[in-house]
């Protein structure tokens, strides 16, 4: 038997670890080159990983919910064309005997994540494990991390597995238990039987549906798919939840076998419990670190302007009826994005970054326009590359694509890197404005408030004034005062507001 390990690859962007979200294969499955075997979540995005070789899966070396470092073996595959039954049985037995997540085998100080290398244990009695191969460690016992980032000298730390909602919720203050008469134990509900599928194929579902099922603690193998080709839809999962409420327990899920990683139950507020604890990880963890770094590194200044955006609303309505924009979404955000690009052209120093190491201000002659997006995974800021070169129609397409990808949780790290200036659209939540924190590596961020009907003093062509109901909004610009002074910030936000008040200015200035 020739067993090869697939190690967690470097996801890029300086990331050193990732969480195992969903395994798409199980022990005994046959895989081909580039088959998607696992979905991982980094601090920036969800990523599907293809396996680089073909064969039979002998072991899943880490469980769903585990956080592992780059270079850690995550799956073992027999590439010799099939594993003997005796070896396969040994592999499955060794998986059941594997240590829990977070444990470190004795005598391997500074080693990577726990050694859940079942295939290595099964073959240990038959052949010597060479250094750097299945389950082996280097002669120095060091932990390999990202190329260019050196070697990690301390023991690798892992986040402990979550067994369910009970592990995440702080218990209420203990009270002495009152004696109660013994009651006959109710029979445990039988676990739902897996849905029979042709050829024993695994359940088919798109990543957002898999995430929903995972959050609800549902095994997709027990859900019948109503979509084309038997694909499980969101409605199927929700219907299964309604029909099977209370029928499963975390113990039943764990009894499915160690080779099938346990599904984690969602965080639920229970009656009488006063606190709920949610692990800080993934996007939320990265966002927190970035915002703290930005707030305490760049001296923030925020300026506000209130404008009459009636002309922008009228333009939006005209564009919605224009055949050129028939198949794209047109919103005031589109007009603001174009106004930002025009204003950057007039004031290029706003589109810059502070290089502390070289003591330089780096002015960018391109606009990678970031759009802050609230997703189920947290706040992310993908950006539109070279937005200043796009037409209004192309910009609308780019915003639509960016938004759809973010909602599906498919935004990749490259789409969130290299931003130069950002928009945060707080108006969609009915918020008037705010004091946004600058995205790290940039010098300014603009908050776009809600557009409301409000009384406004309107000056007529003859100079007379009247009070009329108009569409009014507020803009708030936060900027890094190390490289953007008050004059530059004021001129920039004034120009953006002027274009929203009279979009024709964009033609003159653009």
Contact 320, 396 (CB under 8 A): no
SS3 for 492? helix
Under the phi-then-psi rule, with left for phi > 0, alpha for psi from -120 to 50, and beta for the rest, what region is 508? alpha
- Would you call 481 a catalytic residue per the annotation? yes
* Phi, psi (degrees; rounded to nearest 5) at 279: -60, 140
DSSP state of 268: -
Residue position matching structure tokens 């594993």: 83
Contact 498, 311 (CB under 8 A): no
Q: CA-CA distance, 138 to 496, in Å (whole number)?
A: 58
Contact 507, 317 (CB under 8 A): no
Strand arrangement, sheet containing 36-41 = 46-50, 36-41, 17-23, 67-69
Which helix (H) or strand (E) segment holds residue 55: the answer is: strand 55-60
Residue 193, token pair as written in the block: 């039987």
Residue position matching structure tokens 């470092």: 69
Which helix (H) or strand (E) segment holds residue 444: the answer is: strand 444-448
Residue 451, token pair as written in the block: 């557009």
DSSP state of 154: S
CA dihedral over 34, 38, 42, 47, signed as positive or negative: positive
SS3 for 191? coil
Contacts of 99 (CB under 8 A, 6+ apart): 105, 114, 115, 116
Q: CA-CA distance, 306 to 433, in Å (whole number)?
A: 10
Residue 175: exposed, middle, or buried by beta-carbon count in 10 A (0-12, 13-18, 19+)?
exposed
* Catalytic, out of 240, 300, 347, 481: 481
Residue 310: exposed, middle, or buried by beta-carbon count in 10 A (0-12, 13-18, 19+)?
buried
Q: CA-CA distance, 201 to 197, in Å (whole number)?
A: 6
Q: Which residues are identified as catalytic? A: 481
């Amino acid at each position: 038997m020739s067993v090869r390990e697939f190690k967690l690859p470097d996801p890029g962007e300086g990331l050193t670890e990732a969480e195992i979200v969903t395994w798409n294969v199980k022990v005994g499955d046959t895989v081909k080159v580039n088959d998607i075997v696992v979905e991982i979540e980094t601090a920036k995005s969800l990523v599907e990983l293809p396996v680089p070789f073909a064969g039979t899966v002998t072991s899943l070396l880490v469980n769903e919910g585990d956080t592992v470092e780059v270079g850690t073996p995550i799956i073992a595959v027999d590439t010799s064309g099939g594993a003997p039954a005796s070896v396969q049985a040994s592999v499955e037995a060794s998986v059941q005997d594997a240590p829990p997540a977070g444990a470190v085998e004795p005598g391997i100080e500074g080693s990577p994540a726990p050694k859940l290398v079942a295939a290595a244990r099964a073959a240990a009695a038959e052949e010597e494990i060479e250094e750097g191969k299945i389950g082996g460690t280097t002669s120095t016992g060091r932990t390999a991390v990202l190329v260019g980032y050196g070697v990690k000298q301390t023991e690798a730390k892992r986040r402990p597995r979550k067994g369910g909602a009970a592990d995440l919720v702080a218990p209420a203050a203990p009270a002495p238990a009152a004696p109660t008469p013994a009651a006959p134990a109710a029979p445990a509900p039988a676990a739902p039987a897996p849905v029979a599928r042709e050829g024993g194929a695994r359940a088919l579902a798109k990543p957002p549906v898999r995430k929903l099922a995972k959050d609800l603690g549902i095994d997709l193998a027990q859900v019948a798919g109503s979509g084309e080709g038997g694909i499980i839809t969101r409605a199927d999962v929700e219907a299964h939840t309604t029909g099977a409420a209370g029928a499963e327990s975390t113990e039943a899920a764990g009894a499915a076998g160690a080779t099938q990683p346990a599904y984690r139950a969602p965080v639920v507020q229970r009656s009488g419990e006063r606190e709920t604890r949610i692990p800080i990880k993934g996007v939320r963890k990265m966002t927190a670190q970035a915002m703290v770094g930005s707030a305490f590194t760049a001296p923030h200044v925020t300026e506000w302007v209130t404008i009459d955006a009636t002309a922008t609303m009228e333009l939006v309505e005209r564009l919605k009826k224009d055949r050129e924009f028939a198949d794209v979404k047109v919103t005031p955000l589109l007009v603001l994005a174009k106004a930002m690009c025009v204003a950057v052209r007039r004031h290029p120093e706003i589109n810059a970054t502070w290089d502390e190491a070289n003591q330089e201000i780096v002015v960018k002659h391109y606009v990678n326009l970031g759009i802050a997006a609230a997703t189920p995974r947290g706040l992310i800021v993908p950006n539109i590359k070279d937005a200043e070169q796009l037409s209004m129609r192309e910009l609308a397409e780019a915003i639509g694509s960016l938004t759809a990808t973010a909602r599906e949780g498919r935004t990749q790290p490259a789409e969130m890197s290299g931003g130069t200036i950002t928009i945060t659209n707080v108006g969609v939540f009915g918020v008037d404005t705010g004091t946004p924190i600058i995205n790290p590596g940039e010098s300014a961020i603009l908050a776009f408030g809600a557009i409301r009907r409000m009384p406004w003093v309107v000056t007529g062509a003859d100079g007379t004034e009247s009070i009329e109901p108009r569409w009014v909004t507020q803009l708030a610009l936060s900027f890094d005062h190390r490289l953007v002074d008050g004059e530059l910030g004021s001129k920039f936000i004034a120009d953006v507001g002027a274009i929203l008040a009279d979009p024709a200015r964009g033609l003159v200035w653009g």
